[in-house]
Amino acid sequence: MKNFVLRPSGSSRWLKCPSSLPLEDKAEVVKTVMEAAAQGTAAHEILELCIKNKVRPATYMGKTVEVYDEDQMTFPLYIKVNPEMVEALEVFLGHLDILDPDNVSEEHSELSMEHSSLDGLRGTADYVRISADGSHLWLYDLKYGKGIVQAQNRAGEVNTQLLSYASLLFDKFPKLETAEVAIIQPRGATKKKFRSARIDRSDIDTHVSNCRRAQASALNVVNLVEPIGDHLKTGSHCFFCRAKNICPAQQKEAAEKLFG
Ligand code: SF4
């Protein structure tokens, strides 16, 4: 059986609830492009152009970006680059401007990767810079939405989406030892637009082990080795789960609310 795709953006969900991997595969997903998500996609495209072409966002003011959902199943939305987007991307680029221009061996934007030994773990990192000696990584992720996303919670746990991208990068660049992983959220409802965490290779090893465990649990569920309920866990991570409508745990909770 083919392994499940482990998308970094859903990692906070599938690490806690591995059964959501097979359930999402079975769920009837409504193929829609949300305006807010399309704005984010367009902002990422313009950011990529700015970094690759070494120009400022104002260069693209008024340009129209064609946006499809990730499965390209719907008609496109057309998003125009406006002053708010230009200003937001300037905030992101401002954090690149302060990095040491001499301490770099590689720089990438929108770098797509697949893990060499963890089948299914794949993703695209927004901004990647490797130090001149190859041992340190700067990984910056653009969040265009307003809902705050932390790089690290109060318990010191690093955002698993960032850890997933970093795992792909540590796999791709074996000399890496340390990293600064950051979320840059220019439109976030907080003064602190840049939030970061420091990690090293031991954090990556732990995260990859956790991903392997989630992948194995999901496979055990579809191979009927373990009951689905053994790896179902409700929580705040359910919010964006596409399997909510067919999830037995959600149905049980709903029944308990109604009749319990
Ligand atoms: S709704 Fe929650 S409990 Fe159900 S599959 Fe999705 S993440 Fe798991």
pLDDT tens readout for residues 193-211: 999 999 999 999 999 999 9
Ligand 1 atom nearest to 233, measured from its CA: 3
Q: Each residue of 237-252: pLDDT tens digit?
A: 998 898 988 999 999 8
Quick one: 88 exposed, middle or buried, by C-beta within 10 A (0-12, 13-18, 19+)? buried
Residue 239 CA to ligand 1 center (angstroms) comes to: 8
Determine the topology of domain 8-26+101-247 in CATH: Lambda Exonuclease; Chain A (3.90.320)
83-136 per-position pLDDT tens digit: 999 999 999 999 999 999 999 999 999 999 999 999 999 999 999 999 999 999
Residue from 223, 203, 247, 193 nearest 17 by CA: 247
Query: Is residue 75 very low, low, confident or very high in pLDDT (cuts 50, 70, 90)?
Result: low
214 ligand 1 Cβ < 6 A = no
Q: Which amino acid is at 58?
A: A
**Whole-angstrom distance, CA of residue 89 vs CA of residue 57:** 6
166 lines ligand 1 (CB under 6 A): no
CA dihedral of residues 26, 31, 36, 37 (deg, nearest 10)? 60
For residues 22 and 248, what is the distance between their CA atoms, to the nearest angstrom?
A: 13
pTM: 0.92
Ligand 1: distance of its center to the CA of 25 in Å? 12
